[in-house]
Amino acid sequence: MEWHTLDDPLEVLMKIWKALIPPLLGMTLALLPAPAGLAPHAWHYFALFAAVIAALVLEPLPGGAVGLLGLTIAVILARWVLFSPDQLAKPGFSASGAALTWGLSGFSNPTVWLIFGAFMFALAYEKTGLGRRIALALVKLMGRSTLTLGYAVLGADLLLAPFTPSNTARSGGTIFPVISHLPPLFDSKPNDPSMHRIGSYLMWVAISATCVTSTLFMTALAPNVLAVELVRKTVKVDLHWLPWMFAALPLCLLLLALVPLLSYWLERPSVKGGAEVPRWAAEELARMGGLTMKEVLLLVYVGGALALWIFGDAFINTTTVALLVIGMMLVTRVITWADMMQHKDAWNTYAWFATLVALADGLSRVGFIPWFANLVGQHLGGLSVMKALVVLLLVNFILHYLFASVTAHVTAVLPVLLAVGAAIPGMPVDRMALLLCLQLGIMGVITPYGTGPSPVYFGSGFLPGPLYWKLGTIFGVIYMGGFFLITVPWVMMIH
């Protein structure tokens, strides 16, 4: 194949640099002497971990492939990056066997399986058509006014959120295909001044709403569940579904009430309403026909799962609940095994998160996290507990500008901030951990790449760059201001 038939030379050069930067970063760090107080093997592991995070940000390969490759390299180089000389000197110790056991530990992790299970719930919503039916029913019910249509978009996301850990699948895969049909009904076109008639408003409501629902429910965003596992491993704190929702509820309820209204004020649609939208939704629902038996069964299953997640934690594990529902869906053919095997996103996420759980655990295993926490803690030692907590929360939020993936952010930043906070005398570690996790959903609003569905709406043509950055900045300030004024005092009071 001739060179000119490939991508543009500049694009090829960028791809080469994206592939070279992570290993160059890792090798450069590894060649530097280990900082005082940190064992050489721990520094070498950090160098490898930094290379993995750089690759997750730059994406020369898909995230799952990056995680698997990084984990494999760590297992191969275990004698130099994972184990201390004292560990290697123990009689009968097998570095290769111990490294492989550690490397595969993420694949048996209950949290990783919970994420996978929730993806199967989302698959069932898609296969049965229940997700689309819910969205269309709300549009039919509330679509006569542009403002109430915004609340319908939000309501559809809210109803799907507890069982859809991929906000990309929920908002980008279910909500977006429905609302993308609405702007043409009012001659609102992408990348055109007419986008402000109604299209820009609808798209912004959708992306800003899914960021709120991603915070409200632990299972509404896959990195939430990953964060729960990292919290457990790093600071030995267990976070559960119902307390999470209870902690997020005051702010999220307020934001859910305000998001369509704020969007209506800030991105003023010139179309205020009309009968076209509910008429179109009614026609689409008529084509779907009545509820099928599979949809009814799915409603029963997700209702039972939600009840067990809320009330059954004392006698059945949340992951077991997810696996039980998957089994029932398979037995009653709500979904089939072939459907599960073909769900590439679910298996990709399973492999991705399994490797990241192990890699993040490695930072604690080699002693890097405690060392770094003590180092940073010395500089925060003069601050009061509340001031130190505010600094940690601000750092967590602002650093998200550097990440195009909440998962990469969680893996790279959360364990470090948890350890830093835990090293501060008097810090309420359980509340600090919960507050850091409750930022993960709302922080996605700030950039066109901040969370999974962001590029979908950014690429729709209704939210061009300047408009997206303006609204993202405004809503980021509102979300974070509300977080400090409402969520922080609320969590400190109830725990």
Write the single-letter amino acid at 350.
Y
Question: Residues 45-72: pLDDT tens digits?
Answer: 989 988 987 887 787 888 788 889 999 9
pLDDT of 136 higher than 90:
no
Instruction: Give the whole-angstrom CA distance, residue 357 versus residue 365.
Output: 12
Which ranges in 366-487 belong to alpha helices (H)?
Answer: 368-380, 385-398, 406-422, 429-438, 454-458, 465-482
User: What is the pLDDT, as a whole number, of residue 2?
Assistant: 41
| CB-CB contact of 157 with 203 (8 Å) | no
Instruction: Give the whole-angstrom CA distance, residue 282 versus residue 136.
Output: 8
Neighbours of 274 (CB within 10 A): 16
User: What is the pLDDT, as a whole number, of residue 455?
Assistant: 76
How much is the mean pLDDT over the chain?
Answer: 85
Looking at the chain, the whole-number percentage of residues with pLDDT higher than 70 is 95
Question: Residues 344-401: pLDDT tens digits?
Answer: 877 877 887 788 778 877 877 888 877 876 776 666 667 788 888 998 999 889 888 7
User: What is the pLDDT, as a whole number, of residue 219?
Assistant: 87
Looking at the chain, the whole-number percentage of residues with pLDDT higher than 90 is 32
Global pTM reads 0.72
User: What is the pLDDT, as a whole number, of residue 175?
Assistant: 81
Instruction: Give the whole-angstrom CA distance, residue 334 versus residue 294.
Output: 5
486 secondary structure, DSSP code: I
Question: Residues 417-455: pLDDT tens digits?
Answer: 898 888 888 889 999 999 999 999 999 898 887 787 887
Write the single-letter amino acid at 312.
G
Instruction: Give the whole-angstrom CA distance, residue 241 versus residue 324.
Output: 17
For 179, counting Cβ atoms within 10 Å of its Cβ (0-12 exposed, 13-18 middle, 19+ buried), the class is buried
User: What is the pLDDT, as a whole number, of residue 187?
Assistant: 78
Four-CA torsion 320, 324, 330, 335, nearest 10 degrees: -70
* Confidence band, pLDDT 50/70/90 cuts, at residue 4: very low
Which one of 137-141, 235-239, 253-257 scores highest in mean pLDDT? 253-257
Half-sphere exposure of 334 (CA within 13 A, CB side): 28
- Provide mean pLDDT across the span 270-290: 83
User: What is the pLDDT, as a whole number, of residue 340?
Assistant: 92
